[in-house]
Amino acid sequence: MTSEEYEHVIDELQTVIDETQATLKRFEKTGMNDDMPGDYETLLAILDDAVKQQREYTQAMLD
């Protein structure tokens, strides 16, 4: 991959991270994390996976 391609993937993952964090905040603010714990856990897993992938792509770009 080129440096630009790595940066594009990293930026797209940042969008996923930002949007997932915003959704998590809305869940918590409205109490949906208690009403829909399975969906809340899924959002946490999506966030965790996106952060891990972003870290991997960043490291690969720097190598």
- Mean residue pLDDT of the chain comes to 97
Residue 2's region, left for phi above 0, alpha for psi from -120 to 50, else beta, is beta
pLDDT score at 48: 98
Are 7 and 62 in contact by the 8 Å Cβ rule? The answer is no
| Domain range list for the chain | 3-62
Average pLDDT in the 42-49 region?
A: 98
| pLDDT > 90 fraction of the chain, expressed in percent and rounded | 100
Are 51 and 45 in contact by the 8 Å Cβ rule? The answer is no
pLDDT score at 4: 95
Of 62, 44, 48, nearest in space to 13 by CA? 48
